[in-house]
Amino acid sequence: MTNSYFSKQLSSITEKGNLRILPTVKECGYEIIKDGKHMLNLSSNDYLGLAGDTALKEEFLSHVSPGKFSFTSSSSRLLTGNSGEYDYLEKQLARLFDSEAALVFNSGYHANSGILPAVADHHSLILADKLVHASIVDGIGLSRARCIRFRHNNYEQLERLLSENHRNYEHIFIVTESIFSMDGDECDLNRLVELKKQYGNVFLYVDEAHAFGVRGERGLGCSEQYDHLHDIDFLVGTFGKALASIGAYLICSKEIKSYLVNTMRPLIFTTALPPVNLQWTSFVLNKMVYMNDKRIYLSHISRLLREKTDKLKSNSKSHIIPFITGTADSAVNASLYLQRHGFYLLPVRPPTVPEGTSRLRISLHAACTEEQIERLVINLNTCKI
Ligand SMILES: *Cc1c(COP(=O)(O)O)cnc(C)c1O
């Protein structure tokens, strides 16, 4: 009975061309090996190429020995899981961002699904960009606040919503990503900070998952690039992308940190990160701030790709460049075509992106050569959709 229910649902997903499976991959450096074929991996978020950097891992491992690290923290942070490595990493982050405090979470999903439910109550209004990440959408769903999603990057609408509503709520939270995950375009941080500053009860919440490591001279994100490190109340970023690790951070005031330690469920009710992960994050973070040459190179090849492909009429301003094919089937076909030509690009379909905008999400990394970009351009141009 139940099984037939699920198989019916699955058939309907399949009919729409949206059935997902978990692809098992074999990675080798910056390549994916599938059925004996080597392909350049352009589907990962290893933007600086650090996850594929064996020398970096060797250097880290030469400093650690089994007596000095642990694969588990065996407890939540409020009990015995709050190892000295947390303190070290949070101080390191606060120093880098020149902030009062930093708080580390197990993942970006934990951060985004937990912060808003903790800080926004039924006296609050959340104004979130239409295209924010699923983890933020889930956080909004779990919070008791009212929420209005404004059209993507439409600040006239946001401005109107703020002026209409600021008197009716104790707090308003403006929520956005800095570089958007699926389109690679940017929010306008200058404008958002300006809007927020017009009111005394508006907080700005920015998710820099795709900008951390990639933007700003020290890689701290768009907030560093546009000189707004001190203007964002909830500055979130993740370690699982450019930083080649796992976990996430929030840059905030001491008060907000302490409040979250007392109220945020995905921080309180979960086993803390293993100390060895925190050590690796700190180790890579120390090096990442000096990798501006990689950031400059990544921005160079991204521009190259954007300029050379007339097919990619996207709004991307970053290393994430969507190749929008339309239907789910066309994205699958384009993916297979590019895989045959040596590029591992996977289709992204609804519900991850809106219906009719299925795509390949090209995500470049600093270990791509210009020659590979040239070859990719040729293959995108010959790919029929
Ligand atoms: C990847 C991503 C997250 C989730 O981070 P994880 O550490 O992978 O859980 C959150 N926000 C955005 C914008 C992301 O792209």
Distance in Å, CA 377 to ligand 1 centroid: 28
Same structural domain, 247 and 311: no
Same structural domain, 161 and 105: yes
Q: Kindly tell me the burial class for residue 270, based on how many C-beta atoms sit within 10 Å of its own C-beta (0-12, 13-18, 19 or more).
A: middle
Q: With respect to residue 54, please indicate whether it lies within any of the assigned structural domains.
A: no
Gap between the Cα atoms of 284 and 92, Å rounded: 12
Q: For residue 2, is pLDDT > 70?
A: no
Q: With respect to residue 59, please indicate whether it lies within any of the assigned structural domains.
A: no
Name the domain count of the chain. 2
Please tell me which residue, 385 or 58, carries the higher pLDDT value.
Answer: 58
Among the candidates 288, 321, 346, a domain finishes at: 288
Q: For residue 310, is pLDDT > 80?
A: no
- Its domain, for residue 328, covers 16-48+292-382
Same structural domain, 237 and 340: no
Q: What is the CATH number of the domain that holds 147?
A: 3.40.640.10
Ligand 1 atom nearest to 210, measured from its CA = 15
Mean pLDDT, the chain, whole residue set:
95
Q: For residue 1, is pLDDT > 60?
A: no
Q: For residue 82, is pLDDT > 60?
A: yes
Gap between the Cα atoms of 300 and 370, Å rounded: 9
pTM of the model: 0.96
Distance in Å, CA 108 to ligand 1 centroid: 5
- Residue 3, pLDDT score: 77
Gap between the Cα atoms of 128 and 151, Å rounded: 9
Q: With respect to residue 345, please indicate whether it lies within any of the assigned structural domains.
A: yes
- Residue 312, pLDDT score: 76
Ligand 1 atom nearest to 240, measured from its CA = 7
pLDDT by residue (tens digit) across 114-128?
999 999 999 999 999
Please tell me which residue, 29 or 87, carries the higher pLDDT value.
Answer: 87
Q: With respect to residue 219, please indicate whether it lies within any of the assigned structural domains.
A: yes
Helix (H) or strand (E) holding 58: helix 54-63
- Residue 305, pLDDT score: 95
Same structural domain, 306 and 271: no
Q: For residue 155, is pLDDT > 90?
A: yes
Same structural domain, 41 and 96: no
pLDDT by residue (tens digit) across 239-274?
999 999 999 999 999 999 999 999 999 999 999 999
pLDDT by residue (tens digit) across 339-368?
999 999 999 999 889 999 999 999 999 999
Among the candidates 244, 273, 288, a domain finishes at: 288
> Cα dist. 378→281, 301, 329, 381 in Å?
37, 15, 22, 5
Distance in Å, CA 209 to ligand 1 centroid: 6
Using CB distances shorter than 6 Å, the residues near ligand 1 are 107-109, 112, 133, 135, 177, 181, 207, 209-210, 238, 240, 248
Q: How confident is the model at residue 28 (pLDDT cuts 50, 70, 90)?
A: confident
Closest to 104 (Cα-Cα) out of 123, 120, 113, 91: 91
Same structural domain, 301 and 345: yes
- Residue 79, pLDDT score: 96
Same structural domain, 297 and 282: no
> What percentage of the chain carries pLDDT values higher than 70?
99
Same structural domain, 133 and 228: yes
Q: Which of 135, 138, 277, 348 to mutate to test the pocket of ligand 1 (most atoms within 8 A of CB)?
A: 135
Q: With respect to residue 56, please indicate whether it lies within any of the assigned structural domains.
A: no
Same structural domain, 296 and 168: no
Same structural domain, 334 and 351: yes
Structure tokens at 216: 């700003």
- Residue 23, pLDDT score: 83
Q: Ligand 1: which residue has its CA nearest to atom 8?
A: 108
Q: How confident is the model at residue 173 (pLDDT cuts 50, 70, 90)?
A: very high
Same structural domain, 90 and 116: yes
Q: Ligand 1: which residue has its CA nearest to atom 6?
A: 108
Distance in Å, CA 384 to ligand 1 centroid: 32
Q: Region of 142 please: left (phi>0), alpha (psi -120 to 50) or beta.
A: alpha
Q: With respect to residue 1, please indicate whether it lies within any of the assigned structural domains.
A: no
Q: With respect to residue 206, please indicate whether it lies within any of the assigned structural domains.
A: yes
Q: How confident is the model at residue 68 (pLDDT cuts 50, 70, 90)?
A: confident
- Residue 67, pLDDT score: 84
Q: Which of 106, 129, 133 to mutate to test the pocket of ligand 1 (most atoms within 8 A of CB)?
A: 133
Among the candidates 288, 308, 330, a domain finishes at: 288
Same structural domain, 104 and 160: yes
Q: How confident is the model at residue 199 (pLDDT cuts 50, 70, 90)?
A: very high
Q: With respect to residue 39, please indicate whether it lies within any of the assigned structural domains.
A: yes
Q: How confident is the model at residue 375 (pLDDT cuts 50, 70, 90)?
A: very high
Q: For residue 200, is pLDDT > 80?
A: yes
Q: What is the CATH number of the domain that holds 349?
A: 3.90.1150.10
Q: Ligand 1: which residue has its CA nearest to atom 3?
A: 108
Gap between the Cα atoms of 104 and 250, Å rounded: 7
